[in-house]
Amino acid sequence: MTEKMRIVVTGMGAVTPFGQGVPVFWDGIVSGKSAVRETGDEELRKWAPVAAEAVSFNANEFMDRKQARKIDRFSQMALAATGEALRDAGWENEESLKASYGSDRIGVAMGCAFGGVQTLESGGRRLATGAQHVGPRLVPKSIPNAAGANMARQWNIHGPVLTYSTACASSANAIGEASYWLRLGEADMVLAGGAECLFSPAILAGLNSAGALAAKGPGEPEGWSRPFDSGRSGMVMGEGAAILVLETYEHAVQRGARIYAEFAGYGTSSDAYHETSPDPSGREAGLAMRRALRQAGIGPGQIDYVNAHATSTKAGDAAESQALRHVFGDTLNQLPVSSIKGAIGHLLGAAGAIESIACIKAIETGMLPPTINCDSKDPAAPPDIVPNQSRRETINYALSNSFGFGGQNGVLIWKREGH
């Protein structure tokens, strides 16, 4: 990789079940806390007894009421996270952003699995109860590309603006594909990430019927999401948004930006196996990891930390464990692996982006986030899953896995700047 093709992260923003902002998210993760609670909506509780909801998020704190009414919750979260990421990267407003980049040299790459399902379901309920029409904004509020389109309008962005919908791999794929725009010279800066809010009866009932959601757990709700634990019973739904500011190294240095980490590699593949279950052999998930390693120009032994997809489903965690063993062999015995989904649940289309932020913060701080609630590790799980408490460790390369329904696999590798 030549120097002019280096890609760096200069800003990050997030809305998570822990609250607004990357510092709040990171403090919650490394402290070993859980944001999982009893589901707030009594109707939704029938299908998802517990959830990781962003209960403190209030769109009116980030936009005026008129704008908030015009857009769905997932778009609201995306705008809030984007604003934080841009400020973190050194831009206070659109004018300061224009001073660094022309509007046609900025792109938006967003991932989400469904879009504004709450808006769509609300419209369906109106018709089912006798209404003759729905609001004129139902479609533009609910379409999957709404978040990216709103981000472009808010900050006057005229470069490539695309949305990737590959289930739980959506934002990992969005970030990976955005790297190609930068390397091909189609953009100099990209806002890349994901947003998701799927707390709706239809979605939760469907996931419940598929056996994907945790239907029970030991003790309090905080302990229901149990990645790699032998007693795991399914995933816990989360919601939120996460945005990274990706720039070419050359432009970031030219404007004097702070650099958090470098983007090192991206790999993707398809299981082509089943509509919901992963290939239990882990072969294709391993293929995506190998492709990311090849693009990064490193071997498996150079990875210092793996942020696992590990959603707390029996089939998914087992398949990922197999894939990790295929790729890393005996080095897996000494490789720290963790899943943050025990703490914040599964953000689906936004998972790859928020877990990338976790990797970048691990590189920056030298602190590994723990896998909470893993009290009785599955014998097939990786030997070192960093259980329950964070750990200090120097991280030069971190690998993040995202695997979705339909066999969609996306893997990202982040590295310490200049390493």
Cα gap 87→191, rounded to integer Å: 12
- Distance between CA 27 and CA 308 in Å, rounded? 19
The CA angle 289-290-293, to the nearest 5 degrees, is 90
What is the rounded distance in angstroms from the CA atom of residue 127 to the CA atom of residue 218? Answer: 40
Pick from 157, 221, 211: which is nearest to 47 by CA?
211
Structure tokens at 186: 């189609």
Q: What is the C-alpha separation between 34 and 344, in angstroms, rounded?
A: 6
Local structure of residue 207 (DSSP, 8 states): H
Name the helix (H) or strand (E) containing 398: strand 397-404
Query: Is 136:218 a contact under the CB 8 Å cutoff?
Result: no
**Residue 306: beta bridge partners?**
337, 399
- Of 368, 351, 347, nearest in space to 359 by CA: 368
Strands (E), 225-350: 240-248, 261-270, 305-307, 337-338
Find out whether 25 and 18 touch, Cβ atoms under 8 Å: yes
- Structural contact between residues 350 and 242, judged by C-beta atoms closer than 8 angstroms: yes
**Enzyme catalytic residues:** 168, 309, 346
Element (H, E) at 86: helix 73-88
Secondary structure letter of residue 374 according to DSSP? -
